[in-house]
């Protein structure tokens, strides 16, 4: 009896020791990624606050929530990286805060791709890519982003938020409602120290690209099948876009209530018409194409105090495309385009496109806003000019 009891005690003791030896240490997750060795870093579930200088090598990653680069740190994404976003709507996005940087420098042979992880991807599967900077916005000061609460704006026109080169985003544009939505790329108060060269925004549920103030200069922009606006700016955008090609393809019939080629506001929502520093960017070598049977509200809409200089543009409607609501519209109930600060030149083609359909005054409805009289519009019938499409060979898109 005593021998049996003694053996039982020894067995229990050995079992307890074995259990202790095989126990799994408790992992403390705090939502902060400080290095690739941090337990919060998981290539198959990428999310959290980046609070270290992190490099994502070529390969595949799953964006599983909000990935936020915090001030003082840099997220580097190497050529050949593919980031697949879990279809999670407004909860899944990449944000670069004021004072932080992204170094996403792909190459023509090894671009960087942000796309949906769905087996049946659709527009709006995830948010998009947001950069917040310290560059000026209309009225000065700072503001808060519309979907998630990030601060942007300041007084540093040369602010540097990093580099985006040879980067494509797809299936972006998740929205909360008609006033709060993500875009493919959104630049909030981003300065001209930021390098944005060779980017593509495809199949988005809202705007392909939007600028909230700032001075950033974009070169070689490709837009394909944006559900809302191809190019949008507001709140004092003073930057530039050179060599942009934006198309709504035949068979793509998804639209919002007012899709446009360009939608331009001088101040945010037209609520501050007397603000200083309203939008007045420069756009050169621009092509806007609509081959869809769905009507665009406007090919170009400049309003609410915005100026613009557009040179060497080509506006094209395909044989199946319907006429837009307006070709060029400089009016709006919340304020017209900035008189004497609008200059648009180029060619236009399409049997359903009336190149004389230019609205300087909203005469269809009673208004006390003076007509835009100082704008210079010089668009003639023709098929030449616009973007150099060879710049987009790296995307594999067929023109």
Show the tokens assigned to 269.
């929502």
60-72 pLDDT, tens digit each: 999 999 999 999 9
Tell me: pLDDT of 286 over 50: yes
Give, as one character, the DSSP assignment of residue 39.
Answer: T
Assign 179 a pLDDT band (cuts: 50, 70, 90). Answer: confident
Tell me: pLDDT of 18 over 50: no
Q: What is the DSSP string of 54-115?
A: EEEPSEEEEEEEEEEEPTT-EEEE-TTEEEEEPS-BTT-EEEE-TT-EEEEE--SSS-EEEE
CA dist list (Å): 59 to 75, 103, 389: 15, 16, 28
Give, as one character, the DSSP assignment of residue 227.
Answer: S
Q: Report the SS3 class of residue 306.
A: coil
104-153 pLDDT, tens digit each: 999 999 999 999 999 999 999 999 999 999 999 999 999 999 889 999 99
Percent pLDDT > 70 in the chain is: 91
How buried is residue 335: exposed, middle or buried, by Cβ count under 10 Å (0-12/13-18/19+)? buried
340-395 pLDDT, tens digit each: 999 999 999 999 999 999 999 986 555 568 889 999 999 999 999 999 999 999 99
Closest by Cα among 252, 205, 198, 250 to 229: 205
Contact 230, 199 (CB under 8 A): no
pLDDT at res. 89 = 87
């Amino acid at each position: 009896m005593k021998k049996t009891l003694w053996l039982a005690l020894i067995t229990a003791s050995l079992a307890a020791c074995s259990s202790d030896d095989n126990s799994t240490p408790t992992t403390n997750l705090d939502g902060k990624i400080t290095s690739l060795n941090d337990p919060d870093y998981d290539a198959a579930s990428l999310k959290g606050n980046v609070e270290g200088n992190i490099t994502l090598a070529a390969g595949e990653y799953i964006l599983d929530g909000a990935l936020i680069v915090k001030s003082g740190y840099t997220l580097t994404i190497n050529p050949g990286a593919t980031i697949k976003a879990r279809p999670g709507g407004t909860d899944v996005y990449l944000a670069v805060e004021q004072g932080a940087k992204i170094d996403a420098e792909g190459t023509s042979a090894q671009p960087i791709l942000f796309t949906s992880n769905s087996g049946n991807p659709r527009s709006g599967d995830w948010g998009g890519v947001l950069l917040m900077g310290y560059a000026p916005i209309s009225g000065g000061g700072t503001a808060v982003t519309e979907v998630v609460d990030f601060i942007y704006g300041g007084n540093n026109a040369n602010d540097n938020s990093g580099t985006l080169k040879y980067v494509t985003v797809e299936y972006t544009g998740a929205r909360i409602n008609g006033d709060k939505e993500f875009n493919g790329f959104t630049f909030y108060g981003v300065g001209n120290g930021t390098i944005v060269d060779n980017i593509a925004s495809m199949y988005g549920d809202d705007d392909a690209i939007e600028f909230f103030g700032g001075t950033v200069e974009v070169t070689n922009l490709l837009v394909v099948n944006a559900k809302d606006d191809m190019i949008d700016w507001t709140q004092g955008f003073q930057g530039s876009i050179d060599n942009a090609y934006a198309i709504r393809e035949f068979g793509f019939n998804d639209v919002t209530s007012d899709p446009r080629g360009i939608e331009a506001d001088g101040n945010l929502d037209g609520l501050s018409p007397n603000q200083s520093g309203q939008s007045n960017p420069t756009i050169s070598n621009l092509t806007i194409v609509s081959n869809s049977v769905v009507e665009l509200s406007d090919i170009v809409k400049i309003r609410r105090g915005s100026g613009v200089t557009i040179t060497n543009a080509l506006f094209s409607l395909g044989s199946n495309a319907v006429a837009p609501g307006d070709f060029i519209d400089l009016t709006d109930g919340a304020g017209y385009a900035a008189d004497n600060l609008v200059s648009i030149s180029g060619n236009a083609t399409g049997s359903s496109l009336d190149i004389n359909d230019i609205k300087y005054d909203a005469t269809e409805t009673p208004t006390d806003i003076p007509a835009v009289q100082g704008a210079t519009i010089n668009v003639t019938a023709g098929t030449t000019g616009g973007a150099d499409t060879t710049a987009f060979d790296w995307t594999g898109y067929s023109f």
